[in-house]
Amino acid sequence: MREVIIEKLKQIEQQENITILHAVESGSRAWGFESPDSDFDVRFIYVRPKNYYLKLEQTRDVLEFPINDLLDVNGWDLQKALRLLHRSNPSVFEWFKSPVVYRETAFSHE
């Protein structure tokens, strides 16, 4: 399943014109208490090309891809993730502590 998830992340990058900086498993599978019918909750932090951030209008900062009963894939723009981190949002901390990492970059370690 890991290979399927990694391939899906690559497809999302191409489809949405983004770069995924950090992608993890979130929820029951990450912490080892999944049930036989648990889906994979893939979460990621991404950036768009520089010009996207120069727009004056408000833009959506979340990508959601409920794919099927097996995959639930969602991502937050880096700006959103940083704002939530500043407010001590528990989801951001969970993502950085997840033992199941699908993608990490230098961003993940700084």
Three-state secondary structure of the chain: CHHHHHHHHHHHHHHHCCEEEEEEECCHHHHCCCCCCCCEEEEEEEECCHHHHHCCCCCCCEEEEECCCCEEEEEEEHHHHHHHHHCCCHHHHHHHHCCCEEEECHHHHC
- Tens digits of residue pLDDT in 86-95: 999 999 999 9
- pLDDT at position 84: 95
What average pLDDT does this structure show over 75-96? 94
- pLDDT at position 34: 87
Q: Using 50, 70 and 90 to split pLDDT, how confident is the model at 105?
A: confident
- Structural domains in the chain plus CATH codes: 2-109 (3.30.460.10)
pLDDT at 108 over 80: no
pTM of the model: 0.89
